[in-house]
Chain A
Amino acid sequence: MAKRVEAANVTAYYGGFKAIENINLTVEPKTVTALIGPSGCGKSTFLRSINRMHEVLPGARVEGNLTIDGQDIYDRDVDVTAVRRMIGMVFQRPNPFPTMSIFENVVAGLRLNGVRRKSILEESAEKALRSANLWDEVKDRLGKPGAGLSGGQQQRLCIARTIAVEPQVVLMDEPCSALDPISTLAIEDLMFQLKDKFTIIIVTHNMQQAARVSDRTAFFSIEKTGDPGRLIEYDNTQKIFSNPAQKKTEDYITGRFG
């Protein structure tokens, strides 16, 4: 199920502003890859260009090659919705649909893509909620609104919603930055379990989190404000945090910069 993501010379723009330049990076299936770096260095931009969410903003565009198991996702014939079904995304702030119940939120992806049969929906809702470690907390109130859950529960609801459509790759854009330490721990545990089935790419500002959850770490940085973000170093997490090859990476990780 999990797939390999390859980026070659990926450059992304917001209108005339070049946000990232020449990113080359390969993400292996069934691993957790963390993207770290100072604010504004293009981690989120790169993440959003992997499932073509970058182009949702007016004037934004991507150049270069992004492939998933060898298929170019920016090919002219590619259906954007198919790409996004294959590559799911969890956002920084939990965004459950306010008009839908917990159950409807989890199956929203399936239902809005044409799945009607109730038994299938119920089965995948339970499966997704169990995978997201949320089932026990919400099983008695599936009909209640999703917005009534706590922040951490909402974020796990959004993760359940994302994995309910059975993507190959799950992108997470600072999924814990709005959460308390206990909810953060719950989501990190979840990532460990999800790694068996999915390829996970996570943007995080929290270096301990990167060190805890990821197998590989990519360090992004910018020279100065207004410059495009570049990939400085990409290696095994162990190596990045113990013996990085680049001086810049070491400075960032030890807290001397950024």
Chain B
Amino acid sequence: MTSTLTPRRPRPPAQPATLRARRLPAYAAPAIAVAALLLATGLVYGAGIGGPVLVVVLGALLYLVGLFVATNAVEGRRSARNRTWSALIHSAFVLAVLPLASVVWTLVSKGSERLDGNFFGTSMNNIGARDANGGAYHAIVGTLEQVGIAALITVPLGVLCAIYVVEYGRGRFAFTIRFFVDVMTGIPSIVTGLFVLAFWVLIVSPWFNDGRPSFSGFAAALALSVLMLPTVVRSTEEMLRLVPAPLREGAYALGVPKWKTILRVVLPTALPGIVTGIMLAIARAAGETAPVLLVAGGGAAINVNPFENNQSSLALFVYQQAGEASKYSPARAWTAALTLVALVLVLTVAAKLLARRNQLGR
């Protein structure tokens, strides 16, 4: 064996003589998929080791291997890697969507059982374990009022806070605010519930209530706004930072004062993103159970006054019905869950449409 000391020179990639290359026919990928599935079925049922789930998993793996081998043989290594990674990325997407589709399907199929007028028109007042009807009217009212009040508190506060941090805040104070907003993001909802219970329900509410502490929907709204605030501040902050500096300068150069520039140029530009952030916060708050249970107390009767006495909410209703010893309550829980998701969906779509109306069409 002759050993030479000449180091291997990096060679430039060989230039192909022609730009055309051999390609797998268009039917190749589906054909490999079908073959992989058939092979997987044969293997799984032939050996008797599993059911349809294993067939799909094994089939997917066989498809990836088959695709790589076939492409490698015909089109070359680079193309084989490309196809395999594309297939992997698409499967990641499918895997991510599967649970979502499953949740929606479960909600719709199980929730449609009690999707009737009675459910939306009545409360759980005087409904016993043997009664088939009973509804979530009181819970829907509670959710709407609590989330509505929480949004009324949080949106102005959060947006103004973000404007301060981005546009006016300098130095240590703004830094401190950002830091504590970040800390607030991590507060568990049960802790905000306990905080409002200790502060509002036990200390403040007796002043309005002849010295007796009182649960109320408003207390729940307070707890929810503590939860929503960091989300609103952070997302608004990010969106305001995305507005290009030349837009601000353009407005300043026209002699527009800073506050008006923010109000009329910066905020409209960032509006769609801010609305998305607010809707995320609202969706999160609408799904909270623990704080509502702690400070609004729940309840079976309709109470439209958020400032006095127990109120329920949809999330709390789901929690309570799911644990109730009655053969009718699971159906009520499913329908309430479906209602909650539909409510958040409708609110989000409405808010997005409103925000888009402000944008000009291209």
Which residues of A approach B to under 8 Å, CB–CB?
A: 51, 53, 56, 58, 81-86, 88-89, 91, 93, 95-101, 108-109, 112-113, 144-145, 148, 158, 161-162, 165
- B-chain residues with CB within 8 Å of residue A99 when the two chains form the complex: 265, 268-269, 271, 358-360
B198 within 8 A of A: no
Is there an interface contact between B264 and A112, defined as CB atoms closer than 8 Å? yes
CA distance A97 to B266 in the complex (A): 9
Q: Which residue of A lies closest to B267 (CB)?
A: A99
Q: In this assembly, does B48 line the interface, its C-beta being within 8 Å of a C-beta of chain A?
A: no
* Inter-subunit contact A53/B251 (CB<8 Å): no
Q: Max chain A CB contacts within 10 Å: which of B247, B254, B265, B268?
A: B254
Q: 4 closest pairs, A vs B, by CB?
A: A85-B255, A109-B254, A89-B253, A145-B360
Task: Please state if B253 and A97 are interface contacts (CB–CB under 8 Å).
Answer: no
B255 touches A97 (CB 8 A): no
Q: Please list 14 pairs of residues, one from A and one from B, whose beta carbons are closer than 8 Å in the complex, sorted by A's number.
A: A56-B248, A56-B249, A85-B255, A89-B253, A91-B250, A91-B253, A95-B247, A97-B247, A108-B256, A109-B256, A113-B255, A144-B360, A145-B362, A165-B255
Report A-chain residues with C-beta under 8 Å of the C-beta of B251.
97, 108, 112
Give complex CA distance A84, B254 in Å: 6
Contact of B255 among A84, A91, A148 (CB under 8 A): A84
Q: A97-B269, A99-B269 are in contact. Are A165 and B360 (CB under 8 A)?
A: no
Are the CB atoms of A101 and B360 closer together than 8 Å? yes
Residues of A within 8 A of B256 (CB): 81, 108-109, 112-113
Enumerate chain B residues within 8 angstroms of A165, measured Cβ to Cβ: 254-255
A158 nearest in chain B by CB position: B250
Determine whether B105 belongs to the interface, using a CB cutoff of 8 Å to chain A: no
- Can you list, as one digit per residue, whether each of B351-362 has a CB less than 8 Å from chain A (1) or not (0)? 000000011111
A113 to B269, CA, bound (A): 19
A82 to B261, CA, bound (A): 15
Chain A residue at minimal CB-CB distance from B253: A89
Q: Which of B248, B250, B255, B360 contacts A81 (CB 8 A)?
A: B255
Report if B244 contacts A (CB, 8 A): yes
Across-interface contacts of B257 in A (CB, < 8 A): 81
**How many residues of B are counted as interface, with CB atoms below 8 angstroms from the partner's CB atoms?**
26
Measured between beta carbons, the chain B residues less than 8 angstroms from A161 are 250, 254
A145 CA to B361 CA in the complex, in Å? Answer: 7
Q: Is the CB of A112 within 8 A of B254?
A: yes
When distances are taken between beta carbons in the complex, the residues of chain A under 8 Å from B362 are: 145, 148
Looking at B170, B252, B362, the one whose CB has the most chain A CB atoms below 10 A away is B252
B90 contacts the other chain (CB 8 A): no
A83 to B254 Cα, complex, angstroms: 10
Check if A88 sits within 8 Å of B358, measured CB to CB: no
Cβ–Cβ < 8 Å partners of B269 in chain A: 97-99
Residues of A within 8 A of B10 (CB): none
User: Which single member of A82, A85, A96, A101 contacts B254 (CB below 8 Å)?
Assistant: A85
Name the residue on A nearest B256 (C-beta): A112
**Chain B hits for A91, CB < 8 A:** 246, 249-250, 253
Of B246, B260, B264, B268, which contacts A95 at CB under 8 A? Answer: B246
Can you add 8 more A-B contacts, CB < 8 Å, to A91-B250, A96-B250, A162-B253? A53-B249, A108-B251, A108-B265, A112-B260, A112-B265, A144-B360, A145-B362, A162-B254
Distance between Cα atoms of A113 and B264 in the complex (Å) = 11
State A53–B248 Cα separation when bound (angstroms).
Answer: 11
B249 CB contacts on chain A under 8 angstroms: 53, 56, 91, 95
Least CB distance from B264 to A in Å reads: 6
Which residues does chain A contribute within 8 Å of B261, judged by CB atoms?
A: 112
Q: Name the residue on A nearest B270 (C-beta).
A: A99
Bound Cα distance from A82 to B265, whole angstroms: 19
Bound CA–CA A51/B247 (angstroms): 17
Cα separation A144 to B271 with both chains bound (whole Å): 19
Q: Which residue of A lies closest to B360 (CB)?
A: A145
User: How far is A238 from B172 in the complex, measured between Cα atoms in Å?
Assistant: 54
| Cα–Cα distance between A93 and B254 once the two chains are bound (Å) | 16
